[in-house]
């Protein structure tokens, strides 16, 4: 954003127009995107490596209260087929009111959070393979806001599932 503002100033754009444009700009699909469902608000957060996953955990730690969290781990080519990077994520500091795990590599993720000592404040950790089942569990158990931390292909899949359910438009269609 700073680079865009500086460029705008250099090419002579009015500062008021630059600020207005920034105010109109929303997140790119799947990257801190909010999707409203009939029952809750989904916050879709991309985590594709330890650095980005730790940044997401930092952001969630700044919330006043622990959130309901769904973590989806896939191992597609775009994700990197080796998911051992999850052992470099600081899951030890993850705090969730309700935690649900999913994706194609949900079992590996469950093992990692077990070793991290992560617990769900309001009951057991829920788990399901794939995308739709864990999404159903997490939204059914939640009560208003659900943070979804997903690898790249899991983010695309959960976003497609939201489109299929009528909760979101395809990423190439803008909300007006």
Contacts 24+ apart (CB under 8 A), 135-144: 135/70, 135/102, 135/161, 137/100, 138/68, 138/69, 138/70, 138/98, 138/100, 139/37, 139/39, 139/40, 139/42, 141/68, 141/98, 141/100, 142/39, 142/40, 142/68, 142/98, 143/40, 143/68, 144/40, 144/41
Alpha-carbon gap, residue 117 to 108, rounded angstroms: 14
Q: Active site includes 82?
A: yes
Active-site option among 82, 136, 143, 160:
82
Q: What is the token pair recorded at 134?
A: 């864990």
Q: Distance between CA 149 and CA 168 in Å, rounded?
A: 17
Both tokens of 125, joined, read 């950790």
As annotated, the active-site residues are 82
């Amino acid at each position: 954003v700073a680079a865009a503002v500086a460029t705008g100033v250099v090419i002579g754009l009015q500062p008021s127009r630059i600020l207005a444009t920034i105010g109109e700009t929303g997140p790119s699909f799947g990257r801190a995107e909010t999707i409203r469902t009939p029952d809750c608000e989904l916050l879709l957060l991309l985590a594709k490596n330890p650095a980005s996953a730790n940044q997401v955990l930092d952001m969630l730690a700044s919330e006043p209260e622990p959130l309901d969290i769904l973590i989806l781990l896939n191992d597609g080519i775009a994700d990197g087929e080796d998911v051992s990077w999850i052992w470099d994520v600081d899951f030890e500091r993850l705090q969730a009111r309700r935690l649900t795990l999913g994706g194609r590599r949900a079992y590996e993720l469950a093992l990692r959070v077990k070793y991290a000592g992560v617990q769900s404040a309001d009951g057991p950790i829920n788990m399901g393979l794939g995308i739709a089942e864990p999404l159903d569990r997490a939204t059914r158990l939640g009560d208003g806001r659900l943070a979804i931390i997903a690898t790249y292909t899991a983010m695309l899949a959960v976003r497609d599932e939201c489109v299929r359910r009528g909760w979101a438009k395809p990423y190439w269609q803008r909300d007006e």
